[in-house]
Homo-oligomer: A and B are copies of this chain.
Amino acid sequence: MNELELIRHFFARQPVSRADVAAGIGDDCALLRPPAGQSLAVTSDLLVSGVHFLPDADPVSLGHKALAVNLSDLAAMGAEPAWFLLNLVLPEADAPWLERFCRGMFDLARQYDVQLVGGDTSRGPLTIGIEAHGFVPEGAALRRSGARVGDRVYVTGTLGDAAVALLHRLGKERLSEADFAALVERLDWPVPRVREGMALRGIATGAIDISDGLLADLGHVLEMSRVGARIFLDKIPLSPICREHVGKSGWEAALAMGDDYELCFTVPTKNTGALEKLQFACGLHCIGEIEAEPSLRIVDESGKPYHPTFTGHDHFAGK
């Protein structure tokens, strides 16, 4: 099977067909028709085997996650997903692997009506590049720079579950089979908070998705907004299994390891009523407040300042 046949076989049969795609896979470029009066939100990610995922990762969940992390970036802007491109470098034209990878990716694409419109395939060490596009009405995007003093700080879902599952997988935590099964879903099958992000338009001021850990990502919001924040450890939403881990091993998994793909956002008090009406199925918790004093202050259960020894993911730290 040559490259073109391979691409055609697996990628041309993608499940979504949108009216705003004038030309999808098969030309030098995709030709797309963005809607009038909306901004185009664009994000991209590059995942390298052995760096961003384990070489023996299940291709079904890998296909899901590679797309999910990009949809999560769109969600953090309040954007509605529309199109994506895929660049795949593969050690060999492995049809069963591709079939499984596509299944994971396209099942998620179908859920969010997002169409694969282009990309390329070549031979080399396994590498996945995805670029995702979405729309958001002009002026309605949730920006990292939007947080204002007095806003409440919220997170969706629970934090730390993916990190604890990863620690177990790496042999650094010991979970029961049932507990691991419960948490590993969060690691391998993150659910991008797309509907939640769109619902937050006009309600939230600043927003980000938590990929590098709450401290690092909320830190970006504070820096871009030129504000600080106070957050309360006892308000951080944790699953029972993660709470047990935190009790034994401390807060690093929940605050700094990342891979949560929850939204962290700020809401002025005048909008908290509108926020509460949204009733997110994934859950929603107020964890603190934006303050004028720069940087982040963490307060523990007894009201005392808490100083983490870790601060978050930095791909080049220490160099």
Contact = CB atoms under 8 A, between A and B. Distances in A.
Contacts of A317: 2-3
A147 to B, nearest CB: 13
A124 interface: yes
A31 B23 contact: no
A272 interface: no
Interface in A45-90: 45-46, 48, 50-52, 73-74, 76-77, 79, 83, 85, 87-89
What size tier do the contact residues of chain A reach? 35 or more
B87 A316 contact: no
A93 interface: yes
Given A74-B29, A122-B51, A131-B85, A3 B315 contact: yes
Contacts of A88: 46
A79 to B, nearest CB: 6
3 tightest Cβ-Cβ pairs between the two chains A and B: A51-B124, A46-B87, A29-B41
Given A6-B316, A42-B83, 11 more contacts: A23-B143, A29-B43, A32-B41, A36-B36, A44-B87, A44-B119, A48-B89, A48-B125, A51-B125, A93-B316, A127-B127
25 contacts: A2-B317, A3-B316, A23-B143, A26-B144, A28-B208, A29-B42, A29-B76, A29-B79, A32-B41, A32-B42, A33-B39, A36-B36, A42-B133, A44-B87, A44-B119, A44-B129, A44-B131, A45-B120, A46-B127, A48-B89, A51-B123, A52-B122, A89-B127, A122-B315, A131-B131
Interface of A: 1-4, 6, 22-23, 26-34, 36, 39-46, 48, 50-52, 73-74, 76-77, 79, 83, 85, 87-89, 92-93, 117-125, 127, 129, 131, 133-134, 136, 138, 141, 143-145, 207-209, 224, 314-317, 319
